[in-house]
Structure 1
Amino acid sequence: MDQTLKLFSLRGRRALITGSGRGIGLALARGLAGAGASIVINDRNEQKAADVAARLCEEGHDAGFAVFDVTDREQVVSAIERVERDAGAIDILINNAGIQRRAPLESFDEGDWSELLRVNLDGVFQVSQAVARHMLARGRGKIINIGSVQSELARPGIAPYAATKGAIRMLTKGMCAEWARHGIQANAIAPGYFETDLNRALVDDPAFSEWLCKRTPAGRWGRVEELCGAAVFLASAASDFVNGQTLFVDGGLTSVV
């Protein structure tokens, strides 16, 4: 293999992807597995996590699973310790688990606000902290946080979601500031509008889809597999001097007015 291509190989590395039972998380799991990584699928539902891991194994990949809710600190710590003990070191962490809630800001439900913060922000903090403690001891590791174009742009009806994704961008910078000297690279991927269950209401709205395709230079919705190249890059040795950055994969949406 060419030396440059070797930089992108993930052979011998283990990756934990939160919320990887479906959607973007599952696509990223497949992408990293294709680059040679061993995969740890995460979901709150044990049967779903086990089924997805089994499917990846049937496809010729090395995959296991860890069941935990990112908002439950005790579950998180226990599951991470179990993976490290029984499967081996977590070399790559992708914080993908997230939720969306839509409503006008003036009438946004306080419970929905709290739930967004718990999943989209507290969950990233808790899982990253639990995994980073092991990475720090080893002096190496890759953390990839999944942000959004809403890490940079706001839109009516999702201000609280945008607030959580803006916070992810700054938390990523904070991880760099704290952990870069210890051999950890922390970066974020900010997807644009992709056809996922999270965006189903928008995908099914002809008026929104028309607006989005006109607004996006690429002229279309993104496909989840188009996030894999960015993830492999940030998970691999090719990005060893890249830290604290947010890579927008959005068809040019944030580059134009």
Structure 2
Amino acid sequence: MPDSFVDQHRQQDGFLMNRFEKKVAFVTGGAQGFGEAFCRSLATEGASVVVADIDVTRAESTATELTKAGFNALAVQCDVGDEDAVGAAVSRVVDTFGGIDILVNNAGLHLTRYNQPFSTMPRADMRALFDVNVFGIVNTSIACLDTMRSRGGGTIVNISSIAAYNPITAYGVSKLTVRALTIALAHDFASAGVRCNAIAPGLIGTDSALADLPQAFVDSFIEDRQVVHRLGRMDDIVAMMLYLCADESSFITGETIKVSGGTPLWI
């Protein structure tokens, strides 16, 4: 774990930020990318963090780094598309930490392989896409509902995409479904005291995205489509995730919030 991250986020006015003290956060796809950044930021603000990932080796590596830095972290193997595997992972977390307060549904399939028209995309890839991007959220959210209810409520943050606002590919449709599912779960879980919101990231300069996209496309997207003419940063998404998990957003549920440099903008 980069020391700069801990140094930057660990202190404010000389003391550790503890917005999520005594909270337990379950982050899917937590071993790398957005998920790893989410785990780090939640841990630095006091949460016990569950690094849930299908790649248990990488999950254990991330959890070990957090533990060495002085945080509470647990790695669990979790294929979000497998209802039984999700149930087993959640049960282990409840046994270890006593419950779950925050769920970040970050695991997802994306990039060029899954960003294809329905007419050309192999059905096997299409099924995998919806199993993870849609049913993965259903599986984890339902599995966490009882423990959240027993702890007086909780928060769920789903990761959608700006592709959901012009859904012309299978990936875009899966992320549009995430927006709709966020509304449905906000209604369904409200009586349990659980809020559910989503983030729709724009073009973010992650290693995987920059490796997948031609530089000319990235440059054109920033200059011609965005109102804010810079590449999105991981911290832009982390900041919104933290806000939606915190009490500051207690009057917000069922919403999908774009963090995308102003694309697309319309009424």
* Deviation of the 1:256 alpha carbon: 6.1
**Residue 157 of structure 2 corresponds to residue 148 of structure 1:** no
Tell me how far apart the structure 2 counterparts of residues 19 and 40 of structure 1 sit (CA, whole Å).
10
| 2:4 alignment counterpart | none
CA offsets 1:181-237 (integer angstroms, 9 cap, x no match): 32111111111111225424544x122012111111121221112211111111111
Tell me how far apart the structure 1 counterparts of residues 210 and 85 of structure 2 sit (CA, whole Å).
30
CA offsets 1:8-38 (integer angstroms, 9 cap, x no match): 8111111010001110111111121222211
List aligned pairs for 1:163-182, cutoff 5 A.
163-182=173-192
**Residue 97 of structure 2 corresponds to residue 83 of structure 1:** no
Tell me how far apart the structure 1 counterparts of residues 219 and 259 of structure 2 sit (CA, whole Å).
20
What fraction of aligned residue pairs are identical, expressed as a percent? 33
TM-score when normalising by structure 1: 0.90
| 1:208 alignment counterpart | 217
| 2:195 alignment counterpart | 185
Question: Is contact 2:167–2:176 with CA below 8 Å preserved after alignment?
Answer: no
| 1:129 alignment counterpart | 142
Question: Is contact 1:8–1:233 with CA below 8 Å preserved after alignment?
Answer: no
CA offsets 1:109-132 (integer angstroms, 9 cap, x no match): 111111100110011100111011
Structure 2 unaligned segments of length 5 or more: list them: 1-11
| 1:236 alignment counterpart | 246
**Range with greater deviation from structure 2 (57-66 or 166-175):** 57-66
SS at match of 2:93: helix
Question: Is contact 1:19–1:96 with CA below 8 Å preserved after alignment?
Answer: yes
SS at match of 1:233: helix
* Deviation of the 1:67 alpha carbon: 1.0
**Range with greater deviation from structure 2 (91-100 or 178-187):** 178-187
Aligned residues: 250
Question: Is contact 1:141–1:185 with CA below 8 Å preserved after alignment?
Answer: yes
Counterpart pick for 2:129 among 96, 116, 128: 116
Tell me how far apart the structure 1 counterparts of residues 264 and 155 of structure 2 sit (CA, whole Å).
25
| 1:41 alignment counterpart | 51
Tell me how far apart the structure 1 counterparts of residues 208 and 132 of structure 2 sit (CA, whole Å).
14
CA offsets 1:120-162 (integer angstroms, 9 cap, x no match): 001110011101122123331111111111222235xxx1001
What amino acid is aligned across from residue 86 of structure 1 in structure 2?
T
SS at match of 1:195: coil
Question: Is contact 1:194–1:223 with CA below 8 Å preserved after alignment?
Answer: yes
TM-score when normalising by structure 2: 0.87
RMSD between aligned alpha carbons? Answer: 2.2
**Residue 24 of structure 2 corresponds to residue 11 of structure 1:** no
What amino acid is aligned across from residue 196 of structure 2 in structure 1?
A
Tell me how far apart the structure 1 counterparts of residues 246 and 57 of structure 2 sit (CA, whole Å).
30
Tell me how far apart the structure 2 counterparts of residues 146 and 180 of structure 1 sit (CA, whole Å).
20
Counterpart pick for 1:71 among 81, 84, 87: 81
| 1:161 alignment counterpart | 171
| 2:6 alignment counterpart | none
Tell me how far apart the structure 2 counterparts of residues 192 and 227 of structure 1 sit (CA, whole Å).
9
SS at match of 2:100: coil
Question: Is contact 2:117–2:170 with CA below 8 Å preserved after alignment?
Answer: no
Question: Is contact 1:202–1:208 with CA below 8 Å preserved after alignment?
Answer: no
Tell me how far apart the structure 1 counterparts of residues 42 and 186 of structure 2 sit (CA, whole Å).
22
Structure 1 pair 245–91 and aligned structure 2 pair: CA distance change class (3 A): same
What amino acid is aligned across from residue 113 of structure 1 in structure 2?
M
Structure 1 unaligned segments of length 5 or more: list them: none
Question: Is contact 1:99–1:120 with CA below 8 Å preserved after alignment?
Answer: yes
What amino acid is aligned across from residue 220 of structure 2 in structure 1?
W
Tell me how far apart the structure 1 counterparts of residues 173 and 18 of structure 2 sit (CA, whole Å).
33
| 1:99 alignment counterpart | 109
SS at match of 2:261: coil
Question: Is contact 1:185–1:244 with CA below 8 Å preserved after alignment?
Answer: yes
